[in-house]
Amino acid sequence: MSQRKTQAFLVVPVQQDVALTSIALGIVSTLQRLGVEVGFAKPVAQEINDRSCAFSRQIFKTDSPDSIPLDAVAERIASNQTADLLEDIVASCMKASQNANILVIEGLHADATYNFASQFNTSIANTLKANIILVGNASVPSAITDLRLAIRQFTREGCKVAGVVLNMAPEGFDSEAVKSQLGSTPLWGVVPETPGLQAFRMLDVARHLKAEVVSEGEINTRRVSHVAVAARSGPYFISHLQPGALIITSGDRHDVILSTALAVSRGMPIAGILLTHNSEIDPKLMELVGPVFDGGVPILRTGSDTFRTARRVIEIPKAVPEDDIERMNMVLETVAEHLDTETISASFHIPENTKLSPPAFRYQLIQKARAAGKRIVLPEGDEPRTVRAAAICTEKGIAHCILLGKREAIENVATLQGITLPEGLEIVDPDEIRANYVAPMVELRKSKGLTPDQAIAQLDDTVVLGTMMRAVCEVDGLVSGAVHTTASTVRPALQLIKTAPGSSIVSSVFFMLMPDQVLVYGDCAINPTPTAEQLAEIAKQSSDSAIAFGIQPKVAMISYSTGTSGAGEDVEKVRQATEIARAKDPDLVIDGPLQYDAASVIEVGRQKAPKSQVAGQATVFVFPDLNTGNTTYKAVQRSANVVSVGPMLQGLRKPVNDLSRGALVDDIVFTIALTAIQAQAGSEQ
């Protein structure tokens, strides 16, 4: 562990069933959020198909070596080869810690067959000079006693216990009381029991039951949060038709099939249907309901009876399957949310890192948004993704969200989607406030001759209404575009909010979450053919946006030529834009024209532009036109499987942001956070 003075932490359970993998990888996630370069290793595999290293490689892109099977470890210990075994483990951990400042090691849990697990954890810790992180199950009555005993035991063995994590904490768990009982050992965090994280896929149901797939539908993505067994007739069964319900029934229960089809037709996102007794749905009935289920509802069939089938479903293992990356990401997000970053940070020195990693970017984004405490209006108030995103932002304190729409319609969407509308989520009926903005809108547009009747007509559009709420400073920002076009979002902003002082245009940036750092791409959404002067302004706006979000700007003006190697009208425009930007802001670190590879690859940059401060290390990429910018961002996003956050609009007097109509819920959440931070930055200027 000495090549980079890597500090090692061995994560050790004090009981069975503490979800050790989730906690160990959750610690990795937390450290990455802090901008730390982290490695991960699990020296010994206690499962036939070990998931820990696989998840680490897929989610965190670590170079985690394969684990040694437990049987092989036991055989070598019995053969007095413990010293050689530990040497192999050291070599494995050395490999895992390359280019890392912290190495997280998952230890062994107690094993009924092999009684050496506890002592071997001590041997690993002492050999690697690793600090111990103890993990306990908070729902177990003896949890604190077990932790205190483990602390004393490891201390006697010469190990340092750096912290404690408690998992599966029941509601009302007293963390402060635990801290006092642990004495000087820090409590790194308390993770609550979260039933929603145990929602397995219909694919997992099919695998566990070895069920026949009658209709695949969205078998890979639909999740089971509720098991509904058709034990009674249709009217009594209706109450069990909930979002995420797995309907277990025989095919001849026509009342159940029809009730389910009706619920699905109204937008109820059930998980799927599991037919028992090797039964099938009557062909004539299937003609009627088939088109409804074709929307994605998986249908499975098994030979066992309804009761036994339900029991077998309940017995599906809680462990997250290796290929369920979505669920594991949700688990790790929950763990990381409940770990105390200040306490953890005090356990080691965080080296300064000029690159902002994607996890650190996302973490800082949420933290800055929370600190800003801004009011964000969402004009598409009854759009399902928007409702869910608003609920998440409210629950997490990211922003005070205001949904424009009829309360009944929004509540119906929430019910059908299984969304709980939290306290603090504001719903405003457009009909009740529209009249308040007629006079202000007429005043803002008087130079264009806008009449009150025209204002009333335009305010029927909730995007215009929301924009007016921002124009008169009743909200801090607006996010729209899940169902509206970019023009529908941007046009009212230009008319009513206008450009910021010193800005002549509105542009956009995407934050590209590359594997090792976050890059800024602009303009990829707004200006088709910017002039040299406009391109220079986009460069400045994009640089300012990078700074606002913790990214050190090094601006590359992209072209098909680097330096003086090429000529042409397009190259000359980029060269002029670079000179204009540099003249207006001498402190701006900018260079161009640069080809993309010369801007992004250090070796190519040194060869093609050896004197450049930007070549090979650019963090902000400004494209010469919309065709190039939009094509590049989408090519990188799709071919490299890179998450992009945005577009974020720049140059407006007050923040308004547009969404892609294909935006996911997380995209909307992050855009709301971006908007809140923009609003905060604007208020500080």
Q: Which of 297, 287, 308, 301 is nearest to 245 (CA)?
A: 297
- Using alpha carbons, list the distances in angstroms from residue 18 to 173, 446, 467, 475, 520: 16, 66, 49, 44, 40
Place 579 in a pLDDT band, splitting at 50, 70 and 90: very high
Between CA 432 and CA 99 the distance in angstroms is 59
Contact (CB, 8 A) for 467 and 663? no
What would the DSSP string read from start to end of 196-207?
Answer: GGG-EEHHHHHH
Indicate if the pLDDT at residue 356 is higher than 80. no
Residue pLDDT, tens place only, 399-416: 999 999 999 999 999 988
Residue pLDDT, tens place only, 429-487: 999 999 999 999 999 998 999 999 999 999 999 999 999 999 999 999 999 999 998 88
Q: Which of 513, 298, 484, 357 is nearest to 28 (CA)?
A: 357
Q: Are strands 272-276 and 245-250 parallel, antiparallel or unpaired?
A: parallel
pLDDT of residue 351: 61
Contact (CB, 8 A) for 133 and 9? yes
pLDDT of residue 501: 86
Place 595 in a pLDDT band, splitting at 50, 70 and 90: very high
The encoded tokens of residue 90 equal 């050291």
Residue pLDDT, tens place only, 643-668: 888 888 999 889 999 888 888 898 89
Q: Which of 293, 273, 296 is nearest to 217 (CA)?
A: 296
Its pTM stands at 0.80
227 backbone dihedrals φ, ψ, rounded to 5° = -100, 120
Q: Which of 234, 244, 296, 293 is nearest to 269 (CA)?
A: 244
191 backbone dihedrals φ, ψ, rounded to 5° = -100, 125
Percentage of the residues of the chain whose pLDDT score is greater than 90:
59
pLDDT of residue 427: 96
pLDDT of residue 148: 94
Residue pLDDT, tens place only, 64-95: 888 999 889 889 988 889 888 999 999 999 98
Mean pLDDT for all residues in the chain? 90
Contact (CB, 8 A) for 274 and 205? yes
Burial of 429 (0-12, 13-18, 19+ CB in 10 A): middle
- b (16+ CB within 10 A) / e for 251-265: bebebbbebbbebbe
Mean pLDDT across 187-203: 92
Contact (CB, 8 A) for 398 and 669? yes
Q: What is the dihedral of CA 248, 249, 255, 256, to 10 degrees?
A: 10
Place 3 in a pLDDT band, splitting at 50, 70 and 90: very low
Residue pLDDT, tens place only, 302-320: 999 989 999 999 999 988 9
Indicate if the pLDDT at residue 105 is higher than 70. yes
Between CA 56 and CA 61 the distance in angstroms is 7
Q: How many CA atoms lie within 13 A of 57 on its CB side?
A: 14
In whole angstroms, what separates CA 320 from the centre of its chain?
Answer: 17
Q: Which of 67, 63, 17, 65 is nearest to 47 (CA)?
A: 67
Helices (H), 266-317: 283-293, 306-314
- b (16+ CB within 10 A) / e for 600-619: bbeebbeebbeebebbbbbb
Between CA 280 and CA 139 the distance in angstroms is 43
Q: How many CA atoms lie within 13 A of 68 on its CB side?
A: 22
118 backbone dihedrals φ, ψ, rounded to 5° = -60, -45
What would the DSSP string read from start to end of 434-489?
Answer: GGGGHHHHHHHTGGGT--HHHHHHHTTSHHHHHHHHHHTTSSSEEEE-SSS-HHHH
The encoded tokens of residue 194 equal 């979260």
pLDDT of residue 352: 61
Q: Are strands 223-224 and 200-201 parallel, antiparallel or unpaired?
A: antiparallel
